[in-house]
Amino acid sequence: MQKIINDPDLVVEEMVEGFVKAHSDLISPTDNERVLKYKHAPVKGKVGIVTGGGSGHKPAFSGYLGKNMVDAVAVGEIFSSPPAMMFYDAIKAADGGKGVAVLYGNYAGDNMNVKMAIEMLEDDGIEVKTVVANDDVPSAPKSEIEKRRGVAGEILMWKVGGAKAAMGASLDEVIAAAQKSIDNTRSIGVGLSPCTLPQVGHPNFEIEPGKMEMGIGHHGEPGTEVVDLAPASIIAEKMTQMVLDDLPFETGDDVVVLVSGLGATPYLEQYIYFNEVEKILSAKGLNIHKSYVGDYFTSLDMQGVTLTLLKLDDELKNCIDYECNSIALKQFSP
């Protein structure tokens, strides 16, 4: 296992330690060592934005802590939902008196732990509402859309929720905008190699050289098919089509495109892939309002990319364009 680590069982602890030191200009630790917050959180009179999930997805989740973005994050073990107590503490750390929006991804563990955290909060007098991201198209058929996993579309959900909250919206308005954002978001991933959990020391599954796995999940959950590795143009064609058909996206739509590497895919390849996606979208007459290309939501050292499309209306556009200053996503007002 070619990894720069110390004790494999302590990777999350040490990563969090390094992360807090590296970004002390933007984030602070809290009494719960696994809960990190935006330095100025809780922001008085602003709806708090909370998320969280298993580790191994850097810069998600804590890389999105910051101004007009996420206020507090619960940091789980590698690929494992944070315990209820962490979500509880994160919600408390984010509460500025106007309620807290917990915007997270649809995984069994996260669902249970957030649910329990909210129960634990019953006596604290904090109003909490949730949006559960389910943007990963291949993870379940449209007829069971509520079973779909949340993937990189979560970033746009946080961006929208964070901007809306910063604009002074109420908890219900923030929740409605974040929900609208995820309802208009569709994602799909492709894997070209497995990933290795540091504590396990070897990959948990195989993708043979010369093959790729379409629809792979953020933790290596198996996709819809394993096929021969194809040129970027064919990969992009397949993935873009699945995403376009599902919402569906239509000619004239304004969209955000987010291409994220899965951890071990060089930017070179990500831009070549994006180039192909852009050609397809342009040919279909979609307007790309904003593009993101980079390692935004990863799966340890997996090779591959995810594609995320968000269909915009005016409200979502304002939120996407809104200034923000988090670690992994910084935007000046256009």
Ligand X SMILES: Nc1ncnc2c1ncn2[C@@H]1O[C@H](COP(=O)(O)OP(=O)(O)O)[C@@H](O)[C@H]1O
What is the nearest approach in angstroms of ligand X to the Cβ of residue 213?
19
Separation of alpha carbons 105 and 114, rounded Å: 11
Question: For the sheet containing 211-214, what is the strand order?
Answer: 225-228, 211-214, 185-191, 304-311, 254-261, 287-294
Q: Which member of 40, 202, 219, 289 is catalytic?
A: 219
Residue 94 binds which entry of ligand X, Mg ion, other proteins, none, CB below 5-8 Å type-dependent: none
Check: CB of residue 132 under 8 Å from CB of residue 105.
yes
Residues 148-207 interacting with other proteins (rule: CB under 8 A): 149, 197, 199-200, 204-205
Does 23 participate in catalysis according to the annotation?
Answer: no
* Dihedral (CA of 176, 181, 184, 187) sign: negative
By CB under 8 A, is residue 50 in contact with other proteins? no
Distance between alpha carbon 89 and the CA centroid of its chain, in Å?
A: 21
By CB under 8 A, is residue 5 in contact with other proteins? no
The single residue listed with the structure tokens 């933007």 is: 26
Check: CB of residue 165 under 8 Å from CB of residue 67.
no
Separation of alpha carbons 189 and 207, rounded Å: 14
Q: Candidates 109-117, 125-133, 160-168, 307-315: pick the segment binding other proteins (CB under 8 A).
A: 109-117
Residues 81-100 interacting with ligand X (rule: CB under 6 A): 81
By CB under 6 A, is residue 108 in contact with ligand X? yes
Does 57 participate in catalysis according to the annotation?
Answer: yes
The two structure tokens encoding residue 329: 């996503």
Check: CB of residue 190 under 8 Å from CB of residue 305.
yes
Q: Which member of 57, 202, 218, 289 is catalytic?
A: 57
Residues that bind a second copy (CB under 8 A): 2-7, 11, 14-19, 21-23, 25, 55-56, 58-59, 63, 190, 192-193, 198, 207, 209, 212, 229, 231-233, 235, 263-276, 278, 288, 290-295, 298, 300-301, 303-305, 325, 330-332, 334
Residues that bind Mg ion (CB under 5 A): 79-80
By CB under 8 A, is residue 147 in contact with other proteins? yes
What is the nearest approach in angstroms of Mg ion to the Cβ of residue 134?
18
How many of the other CB atoms lie within 10 Å of CB of 58? 18
The residues annotated with a catalytic role in the active site are 57, 219
